[in-house]
Amino acid sequence: MDIVVKGRKTEVPERFRKHVADKLKLDKIQKLDAKVISLDVEVSKEHNPRQADRSDRVEITLRSRGPVIRAEASASDPYAALDLATGKLEARLRKQHDKRSDRRGNGRLSAAEVPDVVPNVAELNANGQPVAHTSESIPTTKIGSLEVQGEGPLVVREKVHTAAPMTLDQALYEMELVGHDFYLFVDSETKQPSVVYRRHAYDYGVIHLETDPLAGSPAGGAGGALGG
C-alpha cells in the first residue's frame, strides 16, 4: 500500500512528501487495521492573513474494508498540521481496534451465564445495592423530558444543537469527520430534519423526517428503525 500525497491549490514539496512517509508508519497503521486499502494525504493552504495561525490544513483519509476514517488539522505550517492530524488518526484507529478486540474478547460471560457465576447479580440495582421486593406501587421519576418508572436508565442526557442547513454530501463528510455511524442534519434542499447513517461497507442510508399534517394524535414511538 502506498501513501498518496496531493495538494489542493498548492504545491507539495518533495521534502514534505518524504516527511509524510516517515510520519505515517505503515507497519504501525496496519497493526491497528490490517484491512487498509489506501491512505491519502491532502494539503491545502488558506491565504487569508487573518488565519495565519491555521493557514495550512492537512486531511488524512484512510480507506479499508471497514468504515472510512478521516482526520484533519490546521496549523501555521504543514508539518505541524500533519503532526496534529496524524495524532487524531492514530487515536481513531486505536479506538476502532480496541472496539474490535472487545467484541472478540476471551473469557467474557454471556448474559445468561452471569447469574450462575455472580451470586445475586439479578437482585442488584444500578447502584449495586440489593433490590427490596415490595408490593408497593413502582415510583415514577421525572428525568428531563422522560418519565421513568423504577430504577430506569442510570443517565439521561438531552442536547440541543444549532446548525446551518447542509447538503447530503456535506452531511456524509461531517459524519466521517467525527467518526460516527450516523449524523443528524437539516437538508438544505427540503428543509427537513434528516439523518445519514452507515449501512454495509461503503453503503450509506438517509432518513428524512416529514410532518404528517393529518396526524392529530401524538406519535406512538420514536420513529422507524434504521434498517432496510
Residue 21 has pLDDT above 80, yes or no: yes
Tens digit of pLDDT for each residue in 168-213?
988 888 888 777 888 899 999 988 899 999 887 668 889 988 877 7
16 or 124, which is more confident?
16
Q: Are 165 and 174 in contact (CB under 8 A)?
A: no
- Range name among 6-10, 40-44, 100-104, 139-143 with the lowest pLDDT average: 100-104
Of 7, 172, 94, nearest to 86 by C-alpha is 94
Cβ contacts of 70 within 8 Å, gap of 6 or more: 59, 60, 61, 62, 176, 177, 179
**pLDDT, the chain, mean:** 76
d(CA 197, CA 185): 11
Looking up cell 512517509 gives 21
Written as nine digits, the cell of 81 is: 498540521
What mean pLDDT is predicted for residues 49-75?
84
- Range name among 43-57, 75-89, 112-126, 172-186 with the lowest pLDDT average: 112-126
- Range name among 87-91, 159-163, 174-178, 182-186 with the lowest pLDDT average: 159-163
What mean pLDDT is predicted for residues 86-113?
70
Q: Are 93 and 86 in contact (CB under 8 A)?
A: no
Tens digit of pLDDT for each residue in 129-147?
555 555 455 667 666 666 6
| 3-state SS class at 204 | strand
Q: Give the count of beta carbons closer than 10 Å to the beta carbon of residue 41.
A: 26
- Range name among 46-50, 116-120, 146-150 with the lowest pLDDT average: 116-120
Instruction: Write down the pLDDT at residue 145.
Output: 62
Residue 50 has pLDDT above 90, yes or no: no
pTM: 0.44
pLDDT band at 160 (very low <50, low <70, confident <90, very high): confident
